[in-house]
Chain A
Amino acid sequence: EPEVTQTPSHQVTQMGQEVILRCVPISNHLYFYWYRQILGQKVEFLVSFYNNEISEKSEIFDDQFSVERPDGSNFTLKIRSTKLEDSAMYFCASRPTSGRTDTQYFGPGTRLTVL
């Protein structure tokens, strides 16, 4: 069964460094998402992406964040200058179409630790 994959599974970085989190959505899916889950807190929506542009973003997704689909398979989340509070689990998700009943399929997550 096809699944969303994410790399790396764990990333450790120094405060102020740039990180890129990578996701490979399911191949025929058209909508892509990033979420984060700070330890002990609920999963929060960051951004959705469709047709090579951001379709919606939350207030968390400020200028430090950017997303890109550099080729036909990868979907990346970049954090330009990481802060301690960016430490979290980041989940990528994809959805096939705009159908109301469509489910978002989540990847296993990347745990980001900012020191």
Chain B
Amino acid sequence: AQSVTQLDSHVSVSEGTPVLLRCNYSSSYSPSLFWYVQHPNKGLQLLLKYTSAATLVKGINGFEAEFKKSETSFHLTKPSAHMSDAAEYFCVVTMNSGGYQKVTFGTGTKLQVIP
């Protein structure tokens, strides 16, 4: 069984300040972990992914995430928020078994950026 917990449903930051979106996961096997972003009325865009290579993963738009197995966490960070970062962010865990890939989404975190 696998699950994802996004600890904050809403996060509000001022433009230019750091962003931290928290994600904890539970998985019986070595998971792959992803962060997706969804802008209003848009689809899901992949920000970054961890698949058992380097634990610090860099993504698009200045985002990065660190996989910490001991803490079962995969928090998303960005040093300086931009207005265009306002969106909903989903942490996703996948598990592959044979050819099948089971995907579990977190409940999402809405990021508000205040000018």
Give residues in A with beta carbon < 8 Å to B: 6, 31, 33, 35, 41-45, 48, 50, 55-56, 91, 95, 98-109
Contacts and interface: CB of A to CB of B under 8 A. Distances in A.
Nearest to B36: A106
Given A55-B99, A98-B98, A42 B105 contact: yes
A45 B100 contact: no
Interface in B1-60: 32, 34, 36, 42-46, 49, 51-52
Where chain A touches its partner, the secondary structure class is strand
Contacts, number: 62
A102 B51 CA distance: 9
A48 to B, nearest CB: 7
Interface residues of B, number: 25
Contacts of A42: 90, 105-108
A104 B32 contact: no
B98 A108 contact: no
Give the most central of A43, A44, A56, A99: most B CB within 10 Å.
Answer: A43
A95 B92 CA distance: 15
A31 B32 contact: no
Interface in B64-115: 90, 94, 96, 98-108
A102 B36 CA distance: 15
B27 to A, nearest CB: 13
